[in-house]
Amino acid sequence: MATIEHSEIINAPPERVFELLRRVEDFADYSDLIRSIETLGENRYRWHVRAVGMDWAFDVMVTEIQPPCVLAWESLDGVKNQGRYRLREVPEGTEVALTLSYEIRNRLMEKAVNKAAKPLVGKVSRQILERVEARLHDKQV
């Protein structure tokens, strides 16, 4: 399984950051690549994403919720993947660490995806965390 990691510091307390990350359906507001997210119930969501020139739809289930420290999920179909946000209080606010693991069974496809996935996931993660931070600061005004 390939793993991608990304972390950033958000200038806000973990409770406030977690509150926004927990609203999975709002992630479409945080990234240009996420077209929409449908709530399916029971912590399940259908994501509609536009990436590498293609439209993708896949279902995920939130598997762990430990406010304000952990939010984890795994795919229910499509590319097998699982991810986890870990939040940790630091002097500057909150360190948010994303770990995303995925598995592709086709070797040729895996090489192509691996080449594109790391920068793509990094871009999406940065976009999400920057927009979460912006939303947190908009609420303070």
- What confidence tens digit (pLDDT) does each residue in 43-57 have? 999 999 887 677 888
At 30 the pLDDT is 87
Q: Residue type for 33, please?
A: L
Q: Is the pTM of this model over 0.85?
A: no
CATH code, 48: 3.30.530.20
Place of tokens 């996420």: 34
Q: What angle do CA 90, 101, 80 make, to 5 degrees?
A: 140
Number of domains forming the structure of the chain: 1
pLDDT digits (tens, 9 = 90+) for 99-137: 988 776 766 666 666 666 666 677 777 888 888 888 888
Domain with 27 in it: 2-139
Structure tokens of 132? 């979460």
- Element holding 18 (H helix, E strand): helix 14-21
Q: CA angle, 92 as apex, 134 and 86 as ends, to 5°?
A: 75
Distance CA 10, CA 54 (A): 31
Whether the pLDDT of residue 31 is over 70: the answer is yes
Phi, psi at 131, each rounded to 5°: -75, -30
